[in-house]
Amino acid sequence: MEFSQRVAIVTGGASGMGAACARALAAQGATVIIVDRNVDGARAVADELGAPPPLAGDVSQSAFCNQVAESVLSEYGRIDILVNAAGIIKRTDAIETSDEAWRQIFGVNVDGIFFLCRAVLPHMRAQQRGVIINFGSIWGDIGAAGVAAYCATKGAVHNLTRAMALDHARDGIRILAVCPGEVETPMLSSERAAPPTRAFLDDLADRTIPVGRLAQPVEIADVVAFLASDQASYMTGAMVTVDGGFTAR
């Protein structure tokens, strides 16, 4: 994999899998622009990578997403790779999900991906080259209890990804979703009454995941880097599951 001369935008790059993707792409020579609402976290990862200053803001706002595309284009002249990893979770069933929570999670997980894709696609089409990788989830294809809105957002991401891949298949643009299973990132602990203990997580993994352990962020990021590379040149419109066998049953 070789990304020198390639410019990549990675949302959610301050933490978890977004940060791991930023590291994986930068390690192969890409210029990585991190986009995240967590200013300090984004700066820390950018500094670690010697990457350009991150762009801080909220991807659920279309004006911010347009501004991201414009500022990357004016600074670097091109956008080759977009990784949409920013996301949030709500751990409630439908009855317990407020209007506000529903709109918030759709705002980040779905609107955010749509707005950024819409902002970069005209440029990628003009370039006749580009790769977009959206973060879906195993919960976008199968259901899970207690995370109703989250499952709905990931289902939307999967089919938005397929539809955009078809629209732009002849424009030299490949559009894919990566669909992780349970990955050890801060999200795994978020929106819970108390952070899960190591013993709880190990037991969960042992009981529910065929390989018997949670994924590490780098194990997803390495797949994303492959998908972004020319070695995956015939892949578009695919939901790429990386779940330790979870959905094989």
Ligand X SMILES: NC(=O)c1ccc[n+]([C@@H]2O[C@H](COP(=O)([O-])OP(=O)(O)OC[C@H]3O[C@@H](n4cnc5c(N)ncnc54)[C@H](O)[C@@H]3O)[C@@H](O)[C@H]2O)c1
Minimum CB–partner distance for residue 36 and ligand X (Å): 4
Among 7, 8, 9, 14, binds ligand X (CB under 6 A): 14
Active-site residue identified among 3, 150, 154, 156: 150
Q: Tell whether residue 36 is a contact of ligand X (CB under 6 A).
A: yes
- Pick the binder of ligand X from 3, 114, 115, 135 (CB under 6 A): 135
Smallest separation, CB 124 to ligand X (Å): 21
Which of 97, 137, 161, 236 lies at the binding interface for ligand X (CB under 6 A)? 137
Tokens of 149: 């809105």
Give the residue with the Cβ less far from ligand X, 18 or 244: 18
Q: What is the 3-state secondary structure (H, E, C) of the chain?
A: CCCCCCEEEEECCCCHHHHHHHHHHHHCCCEEEEEECCHHHHHHHHHHHCCCCCEECCCCCHHHHHHHHHHHHHHHCCCCEEEECCCCCCCCCCCCCCHHHHHHHHHHHHHHHHHHHHHHHHHHHHHCCEEEEEECCHHHCCCCCCCHHHHHHHHHHHHHHHHHHHHCHHHCEEEEEEEECCECCHHHCCCCCCCCCHHHHHHHHHHHCCCCCCECHHHHHHHHHHHHCHHHCCCCCCEEEECCCHHHC
Q: Is 156 in the site for ligand X (CB under 6 A)?
A: no
**76 is a catalytic site residue:** no
Residue 207 CB partners (closer than 8 Å, separation 6+):
none
Answer yes or no whether residue 228 interacts with ligand X by CB under 6 A: no
Write the CB contacts of 126 (distance below 8 Å, at least 6 apart in sequence): none
87 binds ligand X (CB under 6 A): yes
* Cα separation, 129 vs 121, whole angstroms: 10
Per CB under 6 A, which of residues 43..82 are in contact with ligand X? Answer: 58-60
Binding residue for ligand X, selected from 3, 9, 12, 173, defined by CB under 6 A: 12
Among 6, 22, 23, 37, binds ligand X (CB under 6 A): 37
The yes or no reply on residue 83 touching ligand X (CB under 6 A) is no
Given candidates 187, 201, 209, 235, which one binds ligand X under the rule CB under 6 A?
187
- Binding of ligand X at residue 31 (CB under 6 A)? no
Q: Does 161 bind ligand X (CB under 6 A)?
A: no
Give the residue from 201, 203, 212 showing the smallest Cα distance to 243: 212
Give the interface segment with ligand X, choosing from 2-10, 34-42, 121-129, 227-235 (CB under 6 A): 34-42
Options 8, 9, 10, 17; binder of ligand X; rule CB under 6 A: 17
Residues marked as catalytic: 150
List residues near ligand X by CB under 6 A.
11-12, 14-18, 36-38, 41, 58-60, 85-88, 108, 112, 135, 137, 180, 182-183, 185-188
